[in-house]
Structure 1
Amino acid sequence: MYDIMIQNLLSPVVLFFVLGVVAALVKSDLKFPAGLSEALSIYLLVAIGIKGGMELSHYELHTVIKPIAGTLLLGITIPVLVLVALLAMKMDLHNSIGLAATYGSVSIVTYGAAISFLEKKQIGYEGFMNALVVLLESPAIIISLLLLRILHKTDSGDLLNAPGTPPKLGMNFSSFMNLFDKEVLRDSLLGKSVLLLMGSLIIGWLVGQNAESIVKPLFIDLYGSILILFLLNMGLIAGERLPEISKHGWKILLFGLCVPLIGGSAGVLVGNWVGLSLGGVVLMGVLAGSSSYIAAPAALRASVPEANPSIYLGLSLGVTFPFNLIVGIPFYFALAQFTH
């Protein structure tokens, strides 16, 4: 595993991420234009989606039922367990919900880096894994917001403001029907990342391999090079967020390092359970072990404004993201090899 970590650390995508972090820490004037940063995000979302759709066209529905079930299981279970752990650590409800949604959702770029890792080692994986990325985006957000409404409100009053008062879980039909407002549904299901991934996936599935000659030059051949630029920008953002994490103590830092390994290990076990190949098991581990900094923060800003972005976004980008690039991906790979 040590050799794998060294190889991954010395890969161009990781080194450019580190360069971005260093640039931010030394207060360099290196900045990405907002338009370019947005364009790189859109490119990665479309590339992952359309490649997954083209590969998905090769599979029949019965072959993907178990992987879909396993993905939904992870998407529902992880945010619940994260929330329970954080409340046990005496973190306030809103920030606990923010981290539950963030760590239950998925990092598209970590997934992309894992694909590059597997391709470098010439290890194949199921094409429908890209579809599972889309599937794992929203459940954690929806479940976390549902838990917030169950724990935080009934028809009248805030339950958790009274010390020692246990949450009252009973809700009438009217309360249940109002659990999700239009903004929550829009951010969870129709936000940029989910919409682009799902739309590109469907297009790739409809056109199949007939579109390969059109798609390949931009979305396949240039994928690794453009990922480098995106990770350089992510390094700049992560470096700016690192000081914010130090304000919240060692417990939150330990959380950002341990949860990916626990979630990723669960993903590897689920990947084996649903019968994925070695590459598929590694990617399932990456999906379960990564944390969102696109879809989940967008939904949280609109629906849980009380949650502190410097905690859930800073921890995701400043700690978990680089940890997964350097340690997490090699760890999930080694664990997948051991268990597969």
Structure 2
Amino acid sequence: MANFLDPAILFFIFGAFAGSVKSNLEIPQPIARFLSLYLLMALGLKGGFALHKSGFTLEIVLALSLAVFLAILIPLMGYQILRTKLNSYDAAAVAATYGSVSAVTFITATQALDQYGIGFGGHMAAAMALMESPAIILAIFLANKARVSSTGLPQSVGISKIFHESFTDGAQLLLLGSMVVGIVSGDEGQKLMAPFSIDLFKGMLAFFLLDMGLMAAKNFGGLKNKPPITIFYAICAPLIHASIALGLCKVIGLQLGDTVLLMVLAASASYIAVPAVLRHALPEVNPGLYMGMSLGITFPFNIILGIPLYVYIARLTY
């Protein structure tokens, strides 16, 4: 219940309502972009400050390795399931969307853990960054393979270009760069940046989630006349992916907070990084398909119901 009374979540619900009734309320795109960059910078700083205190341990290495493994496993599983009902291009695009991660879902989850009093490692921000790209690269590989099979010609998108776009994306670089700044500046840097990275964080998140609610309402229409598996997958895939992450975290013995965040990352779907690449790499796919699924269904599900559910299940298991 506490999750529903959180001001940031209430602003998201309000934004979704405003969008559904076709209100002219909108957040100017430059402001929305600034809010996104601010949240990533603040998250990176928090992670860097925490890593400065903890250092790199075996548990951190295991958590990061598991994050990369999940980022490879989930899109491969998704593609095999989706291509039974969708064409190869659509299946690859949706698999990439759900194999990558949502930074805002992750940030919202860190706030929820703070409210629940559950600790987590600063390295989890690095885990999120590592999970951005593998699914995109796999999707391009699968799409290239489909093109060769259908035409007999190697009409492929250059994988080197995709690597460059994936690993030099501005948002991802800002996250990692901020983490490095946090590690280097340490406790003194944390004191200096606290008014910026801590005191303002909750309000900025609420403002950004208002915009995300508006976008979610607008993108839901992208699923009109799509196969039923799209809606089924958008709801069930997060639950399955989170369960897989929970099982693997238990096997390697991660702490509760890190487990919840890996569950959230596994359950989330990208609506920024992946669509930006897929528009050029997979022009055969209508963006309304993967945007409607990720932003119209999965994002609201995770923000409103998923995060408290994952916390509850992880607590029961631990």
- TM-score class normalised by the smaller sequence: over 0.9
Runs (4+) of structure 1 exceeding 6 A deviation are none
Establish whether residue 152 from structure 1 lines up as the match of residue 147 from structure 2.
Answer: yes
Cα distance in 2 for residues equivalent to 1:27 and 1:66: 46
Once the two structures are TM-superposed, the CA of residue 179 in structure 1 deviates from its matched residue by: 5.2
Deviation string 1:56-100 (CA, Å, 9 cap, x unpaired) is: 2222253422112111110100000111110012x0111111111
Once the two structures are TM-superposed, the CA of residue 41 in structure 1 deviates from its matched residue by: 0.7
1:29-178, aligned counterparts within 5 Å?
29-57=24-52, 58-89=54-85, 91-153=86-148, 157-158=151-152
Aligned residues: 316
2:23 alignment partner, SS class: coil
Once the two structures are TM-superposed, the CA of residue 114 in structure 1 deviates from its matched residue by: 0.7
CA RMSD of aligned residues (A): 1.8
Letter of the structure 2 residue corresponding to residue 8 of structure 1: N
Structure 2 partner of 1:214: 192
Structure 1 partner of 2:310: 332
2:229 is aligned, of 220, 245, 251, to 251
Once the two structures are TM-superposed, the CA of residue 11 in structure 1 deviates from its matched residue by: 1.6
Cα distance in 2 for residues equivalent to 1:311 and 1:178: 21
Deviation string 1:135-181 (CA, Å, 9 cap, x unpaired) is: 11111111221222233326x9349xxxxxxxxxxxxxxx8x98504
Establish whether residue 286 from structure 1 lines up as the match of residue 267 from structure 2.
Answer: no
Letter of the structure 1 residue corresponding to residue 78 of structure 2: V
Cα distance in 2 for residues equivalent to 1:275 and 1:221: 33
Cα distance in 1 for residues equivalent to 2:207 and 2:119: 25
Cα distance in 1 for residues equivalent to 2:152 and 2:84: 19
Deviation string 1:266-314 (CA, Å, 9 cap, x unpaired) is: 1122222232211111111001000011111111112112221111112
Structure 2 partner of 1:162: none
Once the two structures are TM-superposed, the CA of residue 214 in structure 1 deviates from its matched residue by: 2.0
2:247 is aligned, of 269, 272, 276, to 269
Deviation string 1:93-118 (CA, Å, 9 cap, x unpaired) is: 11111111110011111111111111
Unaligned runs of 5+ in 1: 1-5, 160-174
Deviation string 1:199-246 (CA, Å, 9 cap, x unpaired) is: 212222222222012221111121111100000000011111112223
Cα distance in 2 for residues equivalent to 1:44 and 1:158: 45
Of 241-250 and 311-320, deviating more is: 241-250
Change (3 A) 1:208 1:224: same
Unaligned runs of 5+ in 2: none
2:159 is aligned, of 169, 173, 180, to 180
If the length of structure 1 is used for normalisation, what is the TM-score?
Answer: 0.88
